[in-house]
Structure formats: structure tokens, C-alpha cells
Structure 1
Amino acid sequence: MQIKNFKITKGLKELTEHRTVELPLACYETKIRHNSMGYIPLHWHEEVQFVWIFRGEAIFQIDEDKVALCEGDGLFINSGCLHMAEEKEQTDCVYICLNVSPRFLLPQELFKKYVVPYIQATNLPYVFIDANEAWGKYLIEAILKIKQLIEKKPDFFEIGITMQLTAIWKNLIFNALPPTYIHTEMLKSHRMKQMLSWIHLNYAEKVLLEDIAKAGELSRAECCRYFKRILKTSPLNYVKDYRIQRSLVLLQQEEFSITDVGYKVGFNSTSYFIENFRRSLKMTPLAYKKSLAEKLAKETEHTFRPN
């Protein structure tokens, strides 16, 4: 099993380049448990995202809402929205993901009228795509056609992809809620991103609640309410969880001891690091490090095994 590190900036923007060589989009398969944390961590990207659950079940969080998806379900996640995903009850969830630059959805002449109001809408962070409804089934089939076109690259496949995207977007906006924009809602999202960005820049240092609140231009009480409402945790618990997340990357590097890793990610003692790591991943950092070595050895053995 390949352990993947989900790469994001300090401001939670995903670093993955969502494009093929030819076009500003990407369509790929994601297995949730293959991420180093065992889930897809909180992030955002400028591209709009379409998800189709190929196998298993998952819970997606988009901004403040959680959406449970079963095999066959689909989901649209809007541009700029914070989101994360976790597998539900060890169902070995695999999903197909289509990420598209908003500017590639429709021709330039139609972009302002039929794309901008929807990607800026504060009432449309996501849309559930029900495959049991005709429009949902059509949309999911179009996503899979795009994946096939990218993989097989038949003649004029780029034109085929643009035709499918136009149909996808038309079906989505025709069946979604009318777009509305509320400045205060956009401001909430901006403040949350600012606070998370500050944490991701300063997690290795001493972090105080008032510093996090200041980054979002909020009082300490309001800062706590933001985290509780959106992330269902406290600001300082989020800091601990993020430190554990960052430690997983360092633990993959042989040159760092457990103590080195703990101090590098901001824990002031090895025992406190181990205690929080065990609480989060149900194993010690040493056990995690050994499990990585064993997986690597098995992959190496499989790769070089003679036929």
C-alpha cells in the first residue's frame, strides 16, 4: 500500500495541479485510507470539484455541513470551499474525483453570466448529486465519460471533454438552488481561512488562543465559536491535531528520531507528543514508523520479485 501525503499550502490551499497536459482539469481515483492520516484533510482549491463514490461510503465536510455519501452517490463542491473527507465504518471507500478550473466550464462569453454567480454564491458550497434522479445519473455518466476520454485520448478528445463539461454544468445549475451572495457569509469563510493559515504558519511555536483569534480579527470567545461551529473542535485541539498531521511526514524520514519529530512540530516534551499521537492514531509514533518500514519492505520485495 502506498502512503500518500496530501500536499497543501500553509493557507490550506491544495498544491496538487489539477490538469492534464492539454487541459485545466483532472480526473482521478482516490482511496481515502491511502492518505497518511487515513482521511483527506481539510483543504480548499480554486477548481470546482465533482465526486462520485465508486465503492464504500464516505462522510464529506464542506464548510459547516457534513454529507454522508454511499456507493453511487455524487457531490459537487464549489470553488474556494473548505472541505475534508473520511471513510465511513471501514468501508474501503474509493471515489472518482473531477476537478475543473471554473474558467474552463463554459466559453468566455458565457462565463460571467452562467459561472460567476454560482461559484461566488454563498448558498451553494455543495450540491448532492442523486444518481436515482435523471439529471444526477446523466451528470455522473458524463464525469465517467470524461475520465475515459482522458485515459484513452481518442481523436478530438479535448472537444469531447468540453462538450461533456458544458452538459454537466448546465444540468448542475438547472437543478441547483438559485445563487445568492451574502457578504457576511463570505467574510466568515475568509476569517476561518485566515485563522487556519496562521496556525499552519506557526504550529511549531507556542500557540495561544488570543493569537489565533487576532489572525481572524475576532474575540477569543467568537474564535472558539467559529471552530466549534465549522470544525467541531476547539482552536487549541485543532492545533494539536495539525501537529500530529505534520509529524506523519517527518516520521517517514529515517534521520529524525521520535523526540526530534515531537519538538519540530511544536510539542514541548516527547511524552506529551506520544500521548497525543496515540490518542489520534491509536498507536505510538514508533509503531507508526515501524509500520511504514514494513510496508516499504513489502513494496520493495513485490517490485523486485522475479517472475
Structure 2
Amino acid sequence: MHYLDYNEKQAHGTADFPLAYYYVDEHHPRYHMPFHWHKETELLRVLEGQLRLSLDDREYVVSAGELIYIGEGVIHGGEPENCIYECAVFDPQPLLMHTHAVRRYLYQIQRRQIQILMRFTQKQPDILSRAETLYTSLRKKSSGWEMTSLGALFELYGIVFAGEYYTPCASENNAEGRLQQLKPVLEYMELNYQNPITLDDLSRLAGMSSKYFCRFFRAVIHRTPIDYLNYYRVERACYLMAAEGISVTEAAYQCGFNDSSYFVRAFKKYRDMTPRQYVQRLGKSG
């Protein structure tokens, strides 16, 4: 999964079957997960190690075997710690809402009347069992895998409602409204990271004073705005070097670093290695 766009626009699966599977390890060009969101639902399972994951204003350290439910529009990002994880990304509306009996349940999620638990552990073995069936089907793609995958998804949602693995949503949620104010900020970074961006630019987009915006941004993203902008620029540079074979110098320039020495310092800060070392490691793993 690329995780390139904050408001991710890539299609997941096909028009006929909008369900896609992604396996992500340290060799994946987007191993680190910048903050983003999408209209699809995502089920993420850690296979090895740990993943430090932020979901809106909550933070989790997810261990091997645990499952994360990421609903539509949730701002999420993560930092792996010797981690391998897999994702199933799907659009419930065309995939699951074929009958009124099903729609009346899933509309409760879509209309934000309920919030499904974001984290499932060994305390919910029934959910983890259906997730295992789903991921196995998506990985192997044996004959009939589409039906097996759909069946696992239907069962998983059925268990959510039978076990009441959800909480009612308040009719008005000020915290959620504040989180929505971050989305234009993140989109602006995505579209303009190659150019100079100031704190005043970002705080104006959020409709906040610079001082309050810094506090709010850090509370949600766990970095200052400028620190996160530089982190995102480095991640974009990594993608360009890994996926498109662009040189270190060109990647730095395309990602808003006009000073090569500053690029090297920033890269070492976020990746614990120089850009040259990163490229050399790519060559060894290729």
C-alpha cells in the first residue's frame, strides 16, 4: 500500500470487487505510514513485531496477532518497530450492502450512529478467527476466493453486532469536528510539500491561531507541524528513490530540500541512516 496521499485516491481492488490485500514489510517502499485517510474501510493485522499506530486522536501499540479496524475517514498513520503487517481495504457499500437486512446494520456505521471497536485482541477470538479466514483467502486466491472473502467479511460484521463490539456515537462530537479541521492542512502539505510552507500558512487553513494550532496538531499527530512536514518530505523522497529510481540529489530537490546538507540531516533524523546508505540498502534487498 502506498499511503502517498493524505486523502488517498488510489482504487483498492477492482470496480467489480472493491477489496484489496496488501502485505507490508521493511522492503516495501512505503513501510512507514504517513498520516492519511480514505473513504474505504481497512482491516490491519500485525504479523510480527509491533506497530505504533495513531487513529484520529488515539494512539495504540499494536502487537503481533492483533487486528485494527479503521473506519471511513479516520486519520491514521504508523511507525513500525521490526514489524510486518497486512491490510484488507474495501468499500462496504458496493461490496456488502446488497439486501435491506444487511444495509440496516451497516448504515449504523456509515451514518456514525455507532463506532466499532478499533482494536481486537485475543479477548475477541471469534473476530480474529474470521480475520484469519479473510487474510488467508486474500493471500492464496484459490478458486472461489472472492466468495470465501465475502463470507468472512459478512461473518466478521455479524459477530461485531452479535457481540456488541461497538459503542454508540454521541450526536455531536466536538473532537471529531476539530479533527476535520486537520484534513485541509494535511491535504495542503501533500500538494505543496515541494514548496516553502510556513506555520502561518498551515494555521490559517485550520482556522486557528498559530499557538493553538501547534498544540492541537501535536496532540493528534504527535509531532509539531514543521517537524511532521519534514518527516513527510523525507518519506516522499524515500518513495521516489525506492519506487522510481530517482537519484538522491533529485529526490531532495523534488521534495522541497534546496540544501543538500539539510536534507542529509533530516533524513538521518527520521531514518537513522543517510540517503546514500538507504539507496545502498535498496540495492542489496533488490
Fold shared, TM-score > 0.5 on shorter chain: yes
Among 150, 161, 165, the alignment partner of 1:162 is 150
Find the structure with the greater CA-based Rg.
Answer: 1
Q: What is the RMSD of the two structures over their aligned residues, measured on CA atoms?
A: 2.7
Aligned to 2:54: 61
Q: Relative to structure 1, is the Cα distance of residues 126 and 223 closer, same or farther in structure 2, using a 3 angstrom cutoff?
A: farther
1:283 matched to 2:266: no
Separation in 2, partners of 1:114, 1:289 = 49
The amino acid of 1:268's aligned partner reads: N
- Which stretch of structure 1 is more off in the superposition, 181-190 or 271-280? 181-190
Percent of matched pairs sharing the same residue: 21
1:145 matched to 2:133: yes
Aligned to 1:45: 38
1:167 is displaced (CA, Å) by 1.9
Separation in 2, partners of 1:69, 1:254 = 32
1:206 matched to 2:196: yes
Are 2:3 and 2:36, in contact at CA under 8 Å, matched by a contact in 1? no
Aligned to 1:30: 24
1:262 is displaced (CA, Å) by 2.6
1:206 is displaced (CA, Å) by 1.4
Count of matched residue pairs: 281
Are 1:62 and 1:125, in contact at CA under 8 Å, matched by a contact in 2? no
1:267 matched to 2:257: yes
Residue pairs, 1:74-113, within 5 angstroms:
74-88=67-81, 90=82, 93-103=83-93, 104-110=95-101, 113=104
Q: Relative to structure 1, is the Cα distance of residues 53 and 276 closer, same or farther in structure 2, using a 3 angstrom cutoff?
A: closer
1:207 is displaced (CA, Å) by 0.9
The amino acid of 1:225's aligned partner reads: R
Are 2:32 and 2:80, in contact at CA under 8 Å, matched by a contact in 1? yes
- Using structure 1 for the length normalisation, give the TM-score: 0.80
Residues 177-227 of structure 1: CA deviation (Å, up to 9, x unaligned): 123342533322221111011111111111111111112222212221221
Aligned to 1:304: none
Task: Write 1 or 2 for the structure with the bigger share of strand.
Answer: 2
Q: Which runs of 5+ in 1 are unaligned?
A: 297-307
Separation in 2, partners of 1:206, 1:237 = 14
Q: Relative to structure 1, is the Cα distance of residues 110 and 192 closer, same or farther in structure 2, using a 3 angstrom cutoff?
A: farther
Aligned to 1:223: 213
Separation in 2, partners of 1:141, 1:22 = 26
**Which secondary structure state, in structure 2, belongs to the residue aligned with residue 75 of structure 1?**
strand
1:116 matched to 2:107: yes
Q: Which runs of 5+ in 2 are unaligned?
A: none
